[in-house]
Amino acid sequence: MTKIPFMLRATALCLGFLSLSLSLQAQTNPPPASTTQRVDVTSGRPSDQQERRNSTASKIVIGRQELEQFGDANTLEILRRLPGITMPGAPGRGGPPRMRGLGAGYTQILMDGERVPPGFSLENVAPDQIERIEILRAPTAETGARAIGGTINIVMREGYRRRLNDVRVGLGYERGQWQPGASWTRNDTVGERWIYNLTATVFKRGTDDRNFGQTVSTDLATGRTLLAQEESARALNKREGMNVNGRLQWRGQAGDSVLIMPMYIRSTGTTDRTSTLTQSVGSTPLPYATSDSHGSGLFELARVGANLNLRFGDTRTDWRASVNRNRFENENLRREFGTGSLSPLRVLDDEAAIADRGASLNFKASRLLPNQHSLVGGFEIENNRRDENRITLQNGVPLLAEFGENVSARSQRLAAYAQDEWSFNPQWSAYAGLRWEGIHTEGESGLRSTSNRSSVWTPLAHTVWKFDPKGRDQIRVSLTRSYRSPTLQNLISRPSLNVRLPAPGPNSATQADRAGNPDLRPELATGLDVAIERYLSNGGILSANVFHRELNDYIRNVTALENVPWSAVPRWVSRPQNVGGAYTQGVELEAKFRLTDFVAGAPRIDVRSNLSVFNSKVDAVPGPNARLDEQPRGTLNLGGDYRVPGLPLNIGSSVNLTPGYETRISETQYRQVGLKRVWDAYATVNLNRNTLLRLTASNFIVRDYTTSSVVVTEATREAGRLVERTPVNLRVALEFKL
């Protein structure tokens, strides 16, 4: 499929989607005969719909009501139901959220407008701590251009003057494991000027994960099976922790304010894993028959942010500063046994202690001019440092001794930007911005040191046209440049050896080591977004968005056989490389409405639905399915909420579908991912005015989730396959307003 026909067809699909919705609503809601006009009077922050509609850059706003519906245990569970967001991994698990199906590093994650610290996971943020989630499909000069896929901004609970004193206690259950948790949110004022907010969460979670893996090697000339191995594994994971987030704000009479935002997160956990490895075909003996491992870990994050807002006449200045420190400690002891053996054949002991420190300073000045221009300019300074101490012992002998035990990395980032947002008339507004970023990274590992410098200019433009200033329909167009910079780990990473087949012996293509590449260059992307939107009553919306990104210096992991210093024989190693040009494009449809808006006499069901279809191509890879890494062909979310008449009962459900897909990594390597389906449901009962009972079932359609990889050499074809089945998760919670 070529690029231009796809864009034309996608645009036609968007127009058709909007035309159909307009005609349906016109039939069910004819214009009133009366000329009486409705006037809505609002105060405080605009509603989620108003904020989305009035933004010149495309923005989706998810407020407290939608955040609370399912009673999710963490923020990642919320994000998987939002438009255009996919989650890697098995159902009910998964890692960082990804916009438009793009892999790690393409989605910018912000917290209160600032990038999250290294190593931070949204799984550690409880939904009770969040005020709203903002999704920006195209970058802006102010939020930053490291967002080829888009930006997710997590806005923590804000210090509004209304009083809150809410408590939630809950209990989850999953495959024999109990998951208790509790949270407390307090919001109040002190005198006329001070507002404070405090949210605290404690949790304990246990999971029982099971998987089944296969490795098969085939002779290409004869078709004979050379190797057939199967491994079944079980992992019992236990985690417990606490999160505390606070805000203390002083507000002056002239709009001046001071805000202090401390945050502390701490979690500990253990993993006990057992596995059994069998071999039905093979000329060499099994490396082991059974294995067991015990791992323990600690994650701790302390962060303090401060905002200072000052007005000087018509100019408003905003100073933001933050410092953070997080540490991660992990120890894993793995033992491997032969058939019937009580003494281990191999003992692998891996200990790591990682400390990250960071500080940032941001300045922004804005001025509203009489000619409907809003000028904004600013700069950013950010400094991060990582120190890693790691010891890997095999039967008491150090591995990777030539790389040393201590690894350090530093990065400094400078940025400056300017933007102008203006209204030509009540129908047409536009935005233009220019941003520059320079990044310098340094790293030391053993006797080696690396240094990397890069800088990027990113022009950005957005515009919105309202068909009628008083109407509900508008069209958006964005033309932007964005980029993805290599991570410190990708640039200077200490090699990570495969656990099943470690050095100094040989490994296999599907059991490869991992290592970094200090010569990586940033990816650059030029993007076009076109969206048509119709805003409905009751907070509903119909929207259709088409996007296209042209990528240069695309980075992907490539597996190859290398001569390496940690082995006397060549080993298969996966390294990130710049492989040339690529593109990605797609269509994103969203419909959020009340069913009675389209079907007269229907139940008052609030429908939430979104459909995204993705397509991509890597220029350097021949043949079909030469897609970007880990990008599915699309994702679908369909859900609804219903308030039962005459009863204090709300019910709702949501289905997420991500179809299976195949990705060709190179001429000799490809990866397959199976169908992923997640079905959630909830019910809430108002026991009295201040008490709510919430019941939730997550992932209650249990099915196998399969991933596989294939590497073809000159003589053999090696395939690895992993099958996982995650269980149903049940939760009950009581929420009190004190």
DSSP secondary structure letters along 104-115 = TTSEEEEETTEE
Q: How many domains does the chain have?
A: 1
The whole-angstrom separation of Cα 262 and Cα 253 is 25
Residue 150 lies in a domain: no
Q: Are 277 and 291 in contact (CB under 8 A)?
A: yes
Q: What local confidence, expressed as pLDDT, does residue 45 receive?
A: 64
Q: Which two structure tokens, joined as six digits, stand for 594?
A: 């009340």
Q: What local confidence, expressed as pLDDT, does residue 125 receive?
A: 81
Q: What local confidence, expressed as pLDDT, does residue 44 receive?
A: 53
What's the mean per-residue pLDDT of the chain?
A: 87
**How many distinct helices (H) and strands (E) make up the chain?**
5, 37
The whole-angstrom separation of Cα 674 and Cα 632 is 10
Q: What are phi and psi of 208, to 5 degrees?
A: -125, 100
pLDDT top residue among 444 and 245: 245
Cβ neighbours for 400, distance < 8 A, ≥ 6 positions apart: 392, 494, 495, 497, 566
Q: Are 246 and 276 in contact (CB under 8 A)?
A: no
- Mean pLDDT value of segment 470-479: 93
The whole-angstrom separation of Cα 419 and Cα 547 is 23
Q: What local confidence, expressed as pLDDT, does residue 681 receive?
A: 93
Residue 8 lies in a domain: yes
Q: What local confidence, expressed as pLDDT, does residue 254 receive?
A: 77
Q: What is the DSSP string of 416-445?
A: EEEEEEEEEETTEEEEEEEEEEEEEEEEEE
Q: Which two structure tokens, joined as six digits, stand for 242?
A: 């606490």
Sort 715 into a burial class: Cβ within 10 Å, 0-12 / 13-18 / 19+: exposed
Residue whose tokens read 């004022």: 189
Nearest to 534 by CA among 586, 478, 598, 585: 598
- Segments forming the whole domain that contains residue 8: 3-28+169-737
Coil, strand or helix at 474: strand
State yes or no: cis peptide before 495, omega within 30 of 0: no
Measured at the CA of 291, the angle between CA 285 and CA 293, to 5 degrees, comes to 150
DSSP state of 470: T
Query: pLDDT-derived band of residue 73, with 50, 70 and 90 as boundaries?
Result: confident
pLDDT tens-digit profile of 343-377?
999 999 999 999 999 999 999 999 988 878 899 99
Residue whose tokens read 């409405």: 593
Q: Which two structure tokens, joined as six digits, stand for 501?
A: 């087949």
**Amino acid (one-letter) located at 72:** D
Nearest to 555 by CA among 506, 500, 490: 490
The whole-angstrom separation of Cα 436 and Cα 456 is 6
- Mean pLDDT value of segment 312-332: 93
Neighbours of 341 (CB within 10 A): 12
Residue 33: pLDDT above 60? no
pLDDT top residue among 72 and 5: 72
Q: Are 528 and 738 in contact (CB under 8 A)?
A: no
Residue 331: pLDDT above 70? yes
Q: Are 324 and 302 in contact (CB under 8 A)?
A: yes
pLDDT tens-digit profile of 413-471?
999 999 999 988 889 999 999 999 998 888 776 556 778 788 889 999 999 999 988 88
Residue 44 lies in a domain: no
Residue 198 lies in a domain: yes
What residues are paired with 610 via a beta bridge?
590, 637
Residue 51 lies in a domain: no
What residues are paired with 166 via a beta bridge?
185, 737
Q: Are 275 and 291 in contact (CB under 8 A)?
A: yes
Residue whose tokens read 């307003």: 737
pLDDT top residue among 281 and 409: 281
The whole-angstrom separation of Cα 384 and Cα 412 is 7
Q: Are 595 and 643 in contact (CB under 8 A)?
A: no
Measured at the CA of 650, the angle between CA 649 and CA 654, to 5 degrees, comes to 150
pLDDT top residue among 81 and 464: 464
Q: What local confidence, expressed as pLDDT, does residue 229 receive?
A: 94
Query: pLDDT-derived band of residue 160, with 50, 70 and 90 as boundaries?
Result: low
Q: Which two structure tokens, joined as six digits, stand for 639?
A: 């859900």
* Alpha-carbon dihedral 306, 307, 310, 316, rounded to 10 degrees: 150
Residue 643 lies in a domain: yes
pLDDT tens-digit profile of 171-214?
999 998 999 999 999 999 888 889 999 999 999 999 999 999 99
- Strands of 513-514's sheet, edge to edge? 513-514, 571-578, 555-562
Q: What local confidence, expressed as pLDDT, does residue 71 receive?
A: 78
pLDDT tens-digit profile of 586-629?
999 999 999 988 888 889 999 999 999 999 999 999 888 999 98
Burial state string for 637-656 with b = 16 or more CB within 10 A and e = fewer than 16? bbbbbebeeeeeebbbbbbb
Q: What is the DSSP string of 18-79?
A: HHHHHHHHHHHSPPPS--PPP-----SSPPHHHHHHH-SS-EEEE-HHHHHTT--SSHHHHH
Residue 555 lies in a domain: yes
**Largest alpha-carbon pair distance within the chain?**
89
Task: State which H helix or E strand residue 489 sits in.
Answer: helix 488-492
pTM here? Answer: 0.85
Q: Which two structure tokens, joined as six digits, stand for 561?
A: 């056989």
Residue 566 lies in a domain: yes
The whole-angstrom separation of Cα 302 and Cα 246 is 12
Neighbours of 284 (CB within 10 A): 8
Q: What local confidence, expressed as pLDDT, does residue 27 receive?
A: 46
Residue whose tokens read 């508008």: 474
Q: What local confidence, expressed as pLDDT, does residue 328 receive?
A: 92
What residues are paired with 478 via a beta bridge?
462, 529
pLDDT top residue among 337 and 390: 337
Q: Tell me the HSE value of 528 on the side-chain side, using a 13 A CA sphere.
A: 11
Burial state string for 453-487 with b = 16 or more CB within 10 A and e = fewer than 16? eeebebebbbbbebeeeeebebbbbbbbbbbbbbb
Q: What is the DSSP string of 568-590?
A: SS-EEEEEEEE---EEEEEEEEE
Coil, strand or helix at 539: helix
Residue 35: pLDDT above 50? no
Q: What local confidence, expressed as pLDDT, does residue 404 receive?
A: 67
Q: Which two structure tokens, joined as six digits, stand for 222?
A: 């004869």
Neighbours of 394 (CB within 10 A): 17
pLDDT top residue among 2 and 532: 532
Coil, strand or helix at 128: helix
- Mean pLDDT value of segment 395-400: 85
pLDDT tens-digit profile of 532-543?
999 998 789 999
The whole-angstrom separation of Cα 708 and Cα 399 is 29
Using CA atoms, how far residue 580 sits from 554, 583, 598, 630, in Å, is 5, 11, 48, 18
Neighbours of 4 (CB within 10 A): 8
For residue 661, the domain's CATH number is 2.40.170.20
Coil, strand or helix at 127: helix
Of the ranges 273-287, 506-520, 580-594, 610-624, which one carries the lowest mean pLDDT score? 506-520
Neighbours of 342 (CB within 10 A): 6
